[in-house]
Structure 1
Amino acid sequence: MFSPLAHDDPDQLGAYHLIARLGSGGMGTVYLGRSDTGRVAALKTMHARIAADPVFRTRFRLETDAARVIGGEHGARVFDAGLGHETPWLATEYLIGPPLDDAVRLGGPLPERAVRAVGARLCAALAQLHDSEVVHRDLKPSNIMVTADGPKVIDFGIARALGDDRLTRAGSAAGTPAFMSPEQAAGEEHTPAGDVFALAGVLVHATTGRGPFGVGQAADLLYRVRYAEPDLTGVPAGLAAVLGPCFAKDPRQRPTTGELRARLGGAEQDFADCLPEPVLVDIARRAAGVWRAEPHRLPPPAGHGLPGTEPDGTPAGVSRRRLLSVGAGSALGVAAAGAGAWALLGRRGGGTPVRPAPTGSARPAWDLRWQVVAEYTDQPPVPPAPLLLDRLVVVGESVGVKGLDPASGKSLWADPGVYFGHLTVTDGRRIHALDYTAHEAGPLSVRPVGLADGRPGDPFLELKDFNGGLYGTQLLCASGTAVYAVGGRGPQPADRLGTNAFRKGQTWHLLALDLDARKKLWDVPLPARPAGNERLHFLAAQVSGERLVLVQQSAEGATRLVVRDTGTGRQLWSRPLDSGQPAFDRAHLALDDRHVYPSAGGLLALALDDGEVAWRYGKGAPGAAYSPPAVQDGVVYAVESGRGVVAVDAGSGAPRWTEKGGGATTADLGAPPVVGIAYVYRRASSRLAAVALADGGTSRPVNAAAAARYFAHPASRRLIALGGSYAAGYPLL
């Protein structure tokens, strides 16, 4: 819950002595502090490098004003602020409880009684804001804290006065796509009616565990918010009748906060009695953690300041991951009188994932080298992997996308307007992206992405007989001059199905595109998808020599390993990937110039040419399970249940070594090991573990979060980590 102070963090802000870091983001750092009188507070301060910018200072002042307007009943009380300080700071109440999205993940969708109670109290909170002529503009589940006293509204980073558009880029849609109003998605004025639209979406999420406009890329969500009807499946009929009018596309047709509050009822209920038991237990756990926190500060590295303790700056208009207040007051008897804090935390309650380092004059070899905010939506089953080039790493998904120097984490460019995920690929030298700026029917267009600025260039190739705006369009992989894609023909969805689904009448093809010759090499028809189906045709793709290796997914979710000839598209062979693992765990691909090593069915090698089993590793215990494998320099590595990392000769399947020492029982089988220079890394239950590459020597812990996904970047000697809301770089040893 807390991270140690950096060596150059201040000792005190105002009357508060700093104890720990609660989190850090693009705008600033948030600390836990205590005053001499014993009051616990959270203190947010701006990064020094942006504090001189009058636009950022104005945003910080407006955020403070909005927090004061909402007050302690519906938000976190403001205790003190140093707005005229060289680096402005803000001290607020520390609300104790999870954000609403975490509460739903923890205890499941809330019962109707609880949802009505949440909604009625949030109506009162918004009414208080609107009476002061302030609109929130970013109401979403992660910006609502669930405390035992009631829901609290937080994160006023993009709140503003009605009619004031000076801090918003013309025509931009500031906010979170899944919970925007139609007018906000169009870059138009966001009035109190827009907050009502967002509140209704929040209540649908609380009731069902999903948003009213589905999942997908930000561009898809913005389109559906503007033109599609909300999906209220699973919302109780009485509640659906109340929320339905809130989704009117015309803001004049939506109820006011007062009208919605009256229709919801539930305001007089004891809020704690409405909450599921797991949420109440989590509130108590968080309360206890506040009082156990003790001051701890990391030592400075030898000879220079610690780099990377502040995430990279995020330009105005780009949404930040999460600015939370975590607050006091609990019917369970765990209230901390006057406790309070603002915390810029990770998606799943983590905060900055920097763990205490050993004391000493020099930084440990395993320690964090840099960390930046990197935003991903909460929607995809697996966030997209970073794009790795020799001197560039691209992180982020649809907002806050950044190109970074992999060695230092320095931002080379940010917010380029390119949507990543299944729409962008690299061949290691260049980046290619689909033109996804238009949502009306248009040609399938592939553009280069500038390595220096991240901006899309003029199209390499346009296929006018394919509709590039259809859901299901994918860029799969790139190799040399060829890019492999999925393209569709047929109608553009404009009805209740939204755009995040296939539609009857569409036909789909696997395409090979020669970007230098600017022509299509070949296309292969793909199976039709039923109307409303959301499963993409392919989950992974790689090229080895003259072989295109694909993990193909059926409409029902079954997966197959398919290998095609890169020159003609002819299928050479296919094989089912039978496994109890989730589909995205089966989607990892490991291959060399002879074999493909599938992520299902045990640890084995299949010949690339014909799919025959070249070898099967059988040294494990009967029924042993394996992680997805990794292959490098003629050796296949995988994590075996109960044994840890095993190394196998890629040509013969003969065992090389098995991980030595303890700790293998905590090994995570959901991710492939990552091969470094002297070590191979695997995830464990609490942190990353490094195993000697030469002989499997005793594993040692690395000060890195186990929940992140890791990628080797040998050119910079960095191990790249992707968490829910951050990217980080560690030494690749």
Structure 2
Amino acid sequence: MNPLGPGDPLRLGPYRLVAVLGDGGMGRVYLGRDGTGRAAAVKVLRPELAYDQNMAQRFVREAQVAQAVTSTGVARVLGAWIEAGRPWMATEFLVGPTLEQVIEEHGPFDDLGVQELGAALARTLQDIHSAGLVHRDLKPSNIVMTSSGPRIIDFGIARPEHGLTLTVTGEIPVTPGYGAPEQVLGQRVGPPSDVFSLGAVLAYASSGERVYDGGHVAMVQYQVVHGEPDLSEVTEPIRVLVAPCLAKDPAHRPSPEQIATVMATPPGTKRGAKKAWQLGALAADIKRREAAAKQLISLPGVPTPPAFSRRRLVTALAAGGGTVLAAGGGGVAWWLLSKDGGSGKASKPTEAESTAPPKPWDAKRLKASDYKDGTAPPSLWGPQSGPSLIVIQPLPVRDVVVVQEGDWTLGAYKVTDGTRKWAVECGALAHYVAPSDELLMTVRSLARDGLGKLLALDPATGKERWTAAVNAVDVIAADAESVYFAAATDLIRRDINLLRAFDIPSRTTRWSVPMPVECSSSSLPKAAAGSGRLVLCGQNGKVVTLDARTGEQTWTLPRQAAAFYPIAPAVSEGVVYLGGKSLTARKLKNGDEIWSLPARSEIRKGSGGWGSPTLDGDALYALDGTEISRRDRRDGKVDWTHSLGGDVVPPLYPPVIQGKSVWVQADITGKGGIDVLHKDTGEPAWTYARDDRGDWAMAASGNRVFLVNSGRLAAMPVF
């Protein structure tokens, strides 16, 4: 673990990079955090190799193939892309000792523990194989023991059954003693090769000894192909179970499903529901490591090495007894940081539960006994006066929530009790964005200070950090390094005719182009930035995607939304999700359609169609008229739908997700307000102010939903 160096990137895709986890012959691995605080291991191909376009594309392609594995028993691949010439992939950040470390430090498992381990790993192999992949390098050092069970990591040479994996000259294509005979001989391999590896792993877990060993690699490989496994130290009950897995002929090995069935421990075992990794010294070891990693992940990442405390990182690691920071890999044969180096889709979309450590200011969720369906619980604080009567969406940033106030100022209120923390005069009603937890951006239009300045504030104090006179009218989107804003050549008339990107590190305008969609100062484009793209939807319903580095248009959808009804895009992992005349997922790079669902509600001028979508893990939520549905964002298949009743008038705001609740804002004819639903079923929980016709805006963070309505602000609880 090391701090970032001068040549390291500060951000890739949605991940802010905060430290270097390790280096290998083919690249470097970073610790990254996304906007929610969730950690990931971000692997980047070395520049000299990235220049090979074919290799770079294959790296990303095979990593994206590995995303099909959604099992809870693996370290999942979160995304892969080529950004600014850097091919990268992000995987889950796992904490815990490897199985190899467990055996070395705590000794072999007992028979029941080996059965529990075998059943769990066999189920995970089922998932990997069902996704059309073969792991090809299952071994004790590629299994991380966590409090929830064993996790298979480092798809170092995982590959489609039908395809060729990447290799480099001189590479040993299998770990000696764990690879199947057909792998050693360079023959075509399939799922049975992983079963052979599983047998060798379980024998090691039972005995603490390798079943194939020798003085050098060639001897070990010869024993695998021509010799017999040494099972003399494996207990008899386990020997009977693993011996068939080590058959020379792949056709004679059992399937993972058969292994999982045979090794499933019967109910009522003497230690009850707890597994081997949840008991004794091993459980305590895992907890120590998880606590150390939690401290590590919560350390503030900063973009410059001098401000990054390496001592704090080392101290946190030492506190956990040498925490293992492990990440499952993509489909690349040579991506191993050490010398030795498919279920497919879930039947329902995975709900995202934040893995970020809780913050001191987070609220507690409501328990089932704390509320009753049909009755809204009291607010955590508020409603209280403060926000402008012209409603702009609130913005939670760390321990404050920022709102536009009535006297043309920005105000920040403590999320814990609603106390006003600071206020800054801006001179105009304007939107605001937070490129990071340490920076808040808006527009200042005070005549004495010059019109049209970008204003950078410290969210914690409201103190001005810097300004830039760039003829800004309003901000529309931001990523970690840029803020995108609407500009005008004549600020007196405020006719928006320019779209500009402002580079935050250098504090210069990176590009300026004619505004590519219809808009006005009272009807700005809806926009989202991510994966090197900026996506806008204008009041004419046109969607335009630009290269975030240059401002060049990459693709468009001329009539995606109804006229005068811009729809906010949602961007994640190289895909943009759009509402409008259809609910559609498209590749950010070129606009290719992944899936599309036409709207059932009537499309007419100024209304109709799908509203702005909201993403939550693998789930997508969106309104079509007065019907909200949850869908799998990967293919658009529906999980549940719920009708709000009545007739909707525009706009259809994106739902807000927090905890296990969905908050839906739909202006229904004659009544407005917020419906709260159970996320897992779509069933109603309660309703807020259904008879109030005033505009509403909402945002969520830290187990709270912040509501703005009629000049009032409130923080609501969630379950």
TM-score, normalized by length of structure 2?
A: 0.40
TM-score, normalized by length of structure 1?
A: 0.40
Query: Which protein is bigger by CA-based radius of gyration?
Result: 2
